[in-house]
Amino acid sequence: MTRSVLFGVFVLMILVACQPSQKPTNDIDQKVNDLLSKMTLEEKVGQMNQYTGFYDITGPAPADGDAKNKYDHIKSGLVGSMLNVRGVSEVRKMQQLAVDSSRLGIPMIFGFDVIHGHKTLSPIPLAEAASWDLEAIEKSARIAAVEATAEGLNWTFAPMVDISRDPRWGRVMEGAGEDTYLGSKIGVARVRGFQGDDLSAVNTLAACAKHFAAYGFVEGGRDYNTVDIGTATLYNVVLPPFKAAIEEANVRTFMNSFNIINGIPSTASNFLLRDILKGEWGFDGFVISDWSSGAEMIAHGYAKDLEQVAELAANAGSDMDMESYSFVKHLVNLVNSGKVKESVVDDAVSRVLRVKFELGLFDDPYKYCDEEREKEMIYHPDHMAAALDMAKKSIVLLKNENALLPLSKNQKKIALIGDLADDKDSPLGNWRMAGESNTAVSVLEGLQEFGADVSFAEGVKLVTGPTAFPIELEVNTTDKSGIKEAVKLAKKSDVVVMVLGEHGLHSGEARSRSDLNLPGLQQELLEEVYKVNQNIVLVLMNGRPLTINWADENLPAIIEAWQLGTQSGKAIAQVLFGDYNPSGKLPMTFPRNVAHIPVYYNQFNSGRPAREGSAIFWPHYMDQSHEPLYPFGYGLSYSTFDYSNLKVNVTGPENVEVSVTVQNTGDVDGEEVVQLYIHDKVASIVRPVKELKGFNKVMIKAGDKAEVNFTLTKKELGFYNGTGEFLFEPGEFDVMVGSNSTDGLKSSFEL
Ligand code: BGC
């Protein structure tokens, strides 16, 4: 053998030695595999089982979930996770059972619905979405994570990234509204906020993209109902926020949805979980069922019993069972009888263990259990300040005739009217699981703190009877006794601020409504007050778009204040008196009436596009305008913004640069959300009349101009066909840049 041949063999040996081995090279994968190899089948199945701690349950109380049994199961290593256990001492006690008593001492992961803040409550997610401020939204989630982890938690069942076009569905309060582009950006911001840069840090927790998938499309907006949508809608509207949560923020867990898709419950959908999520998207975190969504497959008519539930869910790729007990009861037998392969269980368990390793739970199972941190972090002043900032940013100014707002700081004789005006609970909204009742700053308190000359009258009670979660609300429809006093007060006042809308528990899970008018006697109160004083500012407090045509037609000023959390009243006062210039924009269209629904901006043209006022043969109502009350993206400011100089420049076969000049033509500094919409004019599947594909929130000083730039690439210009293939089709596009989805400068380009 010559020297050069010898050298060649040597190099080859080194190259072979350096080839990536079949075994995992990643440290965590190695640890997962080592642990897995030591586990019995029972212990593996245990990791796929989650129990509730009966703390703050959100679903029907489990029939056979007695605590004693659960504790024994934890000690036997049959529980991988608990939900609804919070507080350092509680979590520590539970964790100790798993770590000290089970054979392998595998720590549990503690999940909780940390939806909009934890103890310090930020605005409901729909309100935060109205800020279009990704940085603020990320910060809000970060703070929620800091407080939740200080209470022992390490996993949140958030963000909900379900797109929904139906305000009857009470859960719209929990999402980012109707638009996929905005919803994807916000979902990513929330995951980043929760998970931070380092999942193993003591103040970050695992996020959960939910509900996979299409839960926002429940028929008639009735929660838990059937979903029946086409695949083009699934791929283009429903799935992108989930995909973005993985690709752009590495979300560590997913939650199944309650609904069926194409006749198959999501919890057992191979198509969703195996083909798309774990196949095409390469997701390596784990999937949790929704609350007993496994067992509900029996009622759906998809499984005959709990054993079949376990078989179908595990085989389809659901990795952990929340409150069905199907895995813990049946999975071992199913593996032994060959109906579920052990490799399926191994894969699920590896995923769960991987996230636990990433969180650092094996290094220190009690890392989130620090009493000092708990005391220090809950209601930290910085969190309060951030919640106030977020609340202000979430407010949308809907109407402001003759610049009635902002009120002068010397404004005399303000009448504050409405049950919600001194309500310290409703502004906390729904899904404030760890929140303490009656801890919001009410509007009355906010105005008083501001030193306003304000007198209050309730007018009518909104709700009678108990309001504790999860009972039905009893809305007051009979007692009008307070109207007189409110009218009297309005009569002698210079300006009337009326706080009307929904009770905090009117929206949220299981809170669907078929009527979106102001509930109860509030409309009557409003009209009675209007008879004596028309100088009314309506402050809406609600968890979803409402139908407020009368108010829009008659009142000079309307503020959408949603449910703004702990600092609600302060934020509203600052906006009313102009200390903060509102900049929010609606993340959901406001319909004119319920029959209008679904009404959303990115609809299709149909063969007979909208032509208001012309002959009758087009898709419209003969008794109602075709236009929504307020369009998606709409919101005013105390400044005015003028758009000019729209430039569109095709810079490559797949690249377009767009710029516009925006001038603040008002007297005060203000922020504007500059929005870009496109319309792909001819495509192999028809495209919506408009699609948001860019936005930019800019602060512009009074009188100043700003140039705002956008770049469109294949990603923004392409779309999915009905089989999930991403297509980019050159051709003609319209582009619009403006201050909402209906007003803007228009141009077009061709690729
Ligand atoms: C909801 C989920 C939630 C779970 C746990 C269910 O009823 O649909 O979104 O995370 O309860 O509380």
Could you tell me the CA-to-CA distances from 394 to 25, 559, 587 in Å, in that order?
Answer: 46, 11, 10
Give dist(CA 107, CA 93) in Å, integer: 12
What are 720's strand-pairing partners? 726
In this predicted structure, what is the pLDDT of residue 4? 44
Q: How far apart are alpha carbons 331 and 608 in whole angstroms?
A: 54
Expressed in angstroms and rounded, the spacing between residue 509 Cα and the centre of ligand 1 is 8
Return d(Cα 76, Cα 102) in angstroms, integer: 5
Same domain as 667, residue 556: no
Q: Are residues 446 and 584 in the same domain?
A: yes
- Domain-ending residue, one of 580, 596, 612: 596
In this structure, the strands spanning 414-417 and 454-457 are: parallel
User: Residue with the nearest Cα to atom 12 of ligand 1?
Assistant: 58
What distance in angstroms lies between residue 585's CA and the mean position of ligand 1's atoms? 28
Residue 59, φ and ψ in degrees, nearest 5: -125, -175
The verdict on the CB of residue 162 being under 6 Å from ligand 1 is no
Instruction: Outline where 450-510 has alpha helix (H).
Output: 483-491
Q: Which of 536, 564, 596 is the last residue of a domain?
A: 596
Radius of gyration (C-alpha) of the chain in whole angstroms:
27
CATH (domain of 670): 2.60.40.10
Q: What is the mean pLDDT of residues 115-137?
A: 98
| Residue 652 and residue 589 share a domain | no
Give the tens place of pLDDT for each residue, 238-290.
Answer: 999 999 999 999 999 999 999 999 999 999 999 999 999 999 999 999 999 99
Compute the average pLDDT of residues 92-99.
94
Q: What is the pLDDT of residues 682-717, one digit of tens each?
A: 999 999 999 999 999 999 999 999 999 999 999 999
- Residue 62, pLDDT score: 53
* Domain housing 508: 393-596
Domain-ending residue, one of 535, 564, 596:
596
Percent of the chain with pLDDT over 90: 90
Say whether both 429 and 576 belong to one domain.
Answer: yes
Residue 33 lies in a domain: no
Number of C-alpha atoms within 13 angstroms, CB side, residue 203? 13
**How wide is the angle at C-alpha 515 spanned by C-alphas 514 and 516, nearest 5°?**
120
- The H-or-E segment that residue 691 falls in is strand 691-700
Average pLDDT, the chain: 94
User: For residue 183, is pLDDT > 90?
Assistant: yes
Q: Has residue 610 got a pLDDT over 90?
A: no
Tell me, yes or no, whether 701 lies in a domain: yes
* 328 Cα to the center of ligand 1, angstroms: 20
Mean pLDDT value across residues 133-143? 98
Q: Tell whether 555 and 666 lie within a shared domain.
A: no
447-494 pLDDT tens trace:
999 999 999 999 999 999 888 777 789 999 999 999 999 999 999 999
Q: Is residue 494 part of a domain?
A: yes
- The answer on 653 and 590 residing in a single domain is no
**Residue 66, pLDDT score:** 59
Decide if 290 is catalytic.
Answer: yes
Claim to verify: residue 656 and residue 571 sit in the same structural domain: no
Q: Is the pLDDT reported for residue 146 higher than 50?
A: yes
Q: Are residue 714 and residue 577 in the same domain, yes or no?
A: no
Residue in this structure with the two tokens 């925006």, named with its chain if needed: 662
Confidence bin at 748 (pLDDT 50/70/90): very high
Residue 625 has a pLDDT of: 85
In short, whether 210's Cβ falls inside 6 Å of ligand 1 is yes
pLDDT digits (tens, 9 = 90+) for 651-672: 999 999 999 999 999 999 999 9
In a domain, residue 717? The reply is: yes
Count of the separate structural domains present in the chain: 2
Please report the pLDDT score of residue 83 as a whole number. 95
The reply to whether 566 and 649 lie within a common domain is no
Q: How confident is the model at residue 21 (pLDDT cuts 50, 70, 90)?
A: very low
* DSSP structure string for 160-183: B------TTSGGGGGS--S-HHHH
Nearest CA to 123 out of 561, 583, 633 is that of: 561
In the predicted model, what is the mean pLDDT of residues 555-571? Answer: 98
Closest CA to 268 of 312, 221, 227: 312
What CATH number corresponds to the domain at position 509? 3.40.50.1700
The percentage of residues in the chain with a pLDDT greater than 70, rounded to a whole number, is 94
Q: What does the block give as tokens for 631? A: 């369009």
DSSP structure string for 244-298: HHHHTT---EEEE-SSEETTEEGGG-HIIIIIIIIIIT---SEEE--TTTTTHHH
In a domain, 77, yes or no: no
72 in any annotated domain:
no
Q: What is the model's pLDDT at position 442? A: 98
Asked whether residue 680 falls in the same domain as residue 574, the answer is no
**Same domain for 486 and 398:** yes
Specify if 722 maps to a domain: yes
**pLDDT value for 3:** 43
- Distance, CA 220 to ligand 1 centroid (Å)? 20
Residue 25: what pLDDT? 52
Tell me whether residue 508 is in a domain: yes
Rounded average pLDDT over 560-581 = 98
Q: What would the two tokens of residue 701 be?
A: 């000083």
Confidence of residue 614 (pLDDT cuts 50, 70, 90): low
290 C-beta closer than 6 A to ligand 1: yes
> Would the CB of 424 count as within 6 Å of ligand 1?
no
663 and 744 fall within a common domain: yes
Residues 6+ apart with CB under 8 A from 236: 180, 719, 720
